[in-house]
Structure formats: structure tokens, C-alpha cells
Amino acid sequence: MLVSAVRPLGRPAPRATCGHYDRDVPDCLFCGIAAGQIPATIVLEGKRTIAFRDINPQAPTHVLVVTRDHYPDAAALAAAGGGLLDELVGTAREVAVAEGIEPTGYRLVFNTGRDAQQTVGHVHVHVLGGRPMTWPPG
């Protein structure tokens, strides 16, 4: 896979510190959950990821998997490299196995940006399952 290092003209570069985004952002809901400052129903915890139940589930199983470090969206995480995007998806699969939805199937959803309805500016993947999914979504 070829990743372009070229940024469209007129677009600012992502804000980075030492090659990665800030570890946490004070007003970020998911940073607060990852730090244990905001309560959540934790499903799985790892060194660099954490998974918890969505407070507004759209399926019988609806779990969010987030990075502990703050990245604004999936595009920023992919651009950062370092294998964390792979780890995030791997954790999503572990959630599916733990929740018993892996044999019948599940959906992973990344919403990136306003038009995609990303409501929290911290990269996260939705793990949805436990019922047949329709197509097209949304």
C-alpha cells in the first residue's frame, strides 16, 4: 500500500509532537475514559487501546475501541504509522471474539470527519454485531 506524504494545498499539517499526537487532550471524552477519569463499561484493556460499551447502542453488541493516546481520527492515526491502527483493528476483533459475535459476523465502522458523523474527535472504531446488518448503512 502506497501512502502519499503530499498534503493538499491550503490544508494545515496535523499538529504533532515528537512524531505523534498529544497523549491526551483535557476536554476529550475518550481521553478521560482511557485515563479512568470518566466512568465507562470496559470490555477489554490493552497497553495502547481500550474498549468500552457505547452509551447509545445501535446493535445488541456495540463496543467502541479507542487508542489511549489522542489521535483526532483514523486518517491521522494511519498517517502516524507505528502499527497502532493494526492494533486498534486487532483489539476490535478480540472484542468480537469475547462478545461471541465473531462466528456469525460483525461490522467495524470508522467515522472520520463531520460528514461521516464523527461526534467525538478521538479516533475510535465501532464494533457492531449480534444481529444481521443491512446495506447500505446510513
**Domains in the chain, number:** 1
Q: Please report whether residue 23 resides in a domain.
A: no
In terms of C-beta distances under 8 Å and separation of at least 24 residues, what long-range contacts does 85-88 make, across chains too? 87/46, 87/48, 87/49, 88/49, 88/123, 88/125
| Cβ neighbours, 10 Å, residue 22 | 15
Q: pTM higher than 0.85 for the full model?
A: no
CATH number for the domain spanning 49: value is 3.30.428.10
Residue 100 within any structural domain of the chain = yes
Are residues 66 and 122 in contact, defined by beta-carbon separation less than 8 angstroms? yes
Structural domain contains residue 49: yes
User: pLDDT tens digits for the chain (138 residues)?
Assistant: 333 333 333 434 333 333 345 566 778 999 999 999 999 999 999 999 999 999 999 999 999 999 999 999 999 999 999 999 999 999 999 999 999 999 999 999 999 999 999 999 999 999 999 999 999 876
For residue 86, the enclosing domain spans 29-129
Q: Among all residues, which ones are annotated catalytic?
A: 124
In a domain, residue 19? The reply is: no
